[in-house]
């Protein structure tokens, strides 16, 4: 039996996609990515006007499953396949007419950060945190991490990518990434209110606005995503990439060459 990572529900024009492997940190790995892709395509087939991405457990997503990467015979090939699978999801989210709302209550780390940021509207609990963290394990951003430059700006994104700094919910709001920051116990109600507001709007006007703004920011996101996939795949096969992953799993500082 395949583990369930994603739950799907559709009601009154809104598709709600929830990551339900909270006990594992809602990881990004092949099966979870396949289930997420299927849910996004199902939302498209259902004619969803709004797609909500949310999660159960302490984390929105911890990002990639480094244990699987470390145990792979060919981590570069595994990461290339996984990155391209996630990137198909990202493309569907940013290219589709549905307005995407992510609801972040805990930490969004690694690929979980740009996945949350692939939404058109990001809502966050005041306890939420955002971290890229790739450099600390000898890898480079994927899942649309480089596209965050359009939201966060060049040097803020370089700080996050190179130093591994963590953005609090308030800092993410101040940077323009997050649309609303509320107490954790008000997050669900805030998400419902935002979804209701979007559903009350003109479907055509909202879809057109999304398309115009996204095309102005990045006309060819697929090219950027391909560069990310090739980069993280190449790094995963290097001694530094293998050392970074091993050090993380062994809970020790990495010794990079």
- Token pair of 86, please? 């996630």
Structure tokens belonging to residue 31: 């099966």
pTM for this entry: 0.95
Establish if 192 belongs to a structural domain.
Answer: no
- Quote the number of domains for the chain: 1
Give the 3-state secondary structure percentages of the chain, helix then strand then coil, rounded to 5: 55, 20, 30
Instruction: Please check whether residue 162 lies inside any domain of the structure.
Output: yes
Report pLDDT for 225: 96
**Gap between the Cα atoms of 161 and 154, Å rounded:** 10
Is 194 part of a structural domain of the chain? no
What CATH number did the domain enclosing 76 receive? 3.90.226.10
Please report whether residue 149 resides in a domain: yes
Q: Is position 94 within any domain? A: yes
What whole-number distance in Å separates Cα of residue 27 and Cα of residue 33? 9
Looking at residues 221-235, what average pLDDT do you find?
Answer: 95
Query: Which of 56, 114, 39, 23 has its CA nearest to residue 31?
Result: 39
Residue 15 lies in a domain: yes
Give domain status of residue 143, yes or no. Answer: yes
pLDDT band at 1 (very low <50, low <70, confident <90, very high): low
pLDDT tens-digit readout, 58-75:
999 999 988 888 888 898
Q: Regarding beta strands 27-28 and 63-64, do their DSSP bridges make them parallel or antiparallel, or are they unpaired?
A: parallel
Length of the chain: 257
Domain membership flag for residue 223:
yes
Q: What does the mean pLDDT of the chain come to?
A: 95
- pLDDT by residue (tens digit) across 166-193? 999 999 999 999 999 999 999 999 999 9
DSSP state of 47: T
3-state secondary structure of 123: strand
pLDDT tens, position by position, 4-60: 999 999 999 999 999 999 999 999 999 999 999 999 999 999 999 999 999 999 999
Domain that holds residue 37: 6-184+206-249
């Amino acid at each position: 039996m395949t583990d369930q990572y994603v739950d799907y529900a559709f009601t009154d024009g809104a598709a709600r996609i929830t990551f339900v492997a909270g006990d594992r940190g809602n990881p990004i790995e092949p099966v979870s990515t396949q289930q997420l892709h299927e849910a996004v395509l199902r939302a498209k087939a259902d004619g969803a006007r709004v797609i909500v991405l949310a999660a159960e457990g302490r984390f929105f997503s911890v990002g990639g499953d480094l244990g699987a990467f470390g145990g792979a015979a060919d981590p570069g090939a595994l990461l290339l396949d996984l990155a391209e699978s996630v990137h198909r999801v990202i493309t569907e989210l940013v290219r589709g007419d549905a307005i995407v709302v992510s609801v972040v209550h805990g930490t969004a780390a690694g690929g979980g950060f740009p996945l949350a940021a692939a939404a058109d509207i990001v809502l966050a609990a005041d306890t939420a945190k955002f971290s890229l963290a790739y450099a600390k394990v000898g890898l480079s951003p994927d899942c649309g991490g480089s596209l965050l430059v359009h939201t966060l700006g060049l040097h803020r994104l370089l700080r996050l990518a190179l130093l591994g700094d963590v953005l609090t919910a308030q800092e993410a709001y101040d940077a323009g990434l997050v649309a609303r920051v509320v107490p954790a116990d008000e997050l669900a109600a805030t998400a419902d209110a935002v979804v209701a507001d979007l559903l009350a709007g003109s479907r055509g006007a909202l879809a057109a606005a999304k398309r115009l703004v996204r095309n102005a920011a990045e006309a060819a996101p697929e090219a950027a995503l391909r560069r990310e996939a090739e980069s993280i795949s190449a790094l995963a096969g290097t001694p530094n990439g293998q050392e970074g992953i091993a050090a993380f799993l062994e809970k020790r500082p990495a010794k990079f060459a």
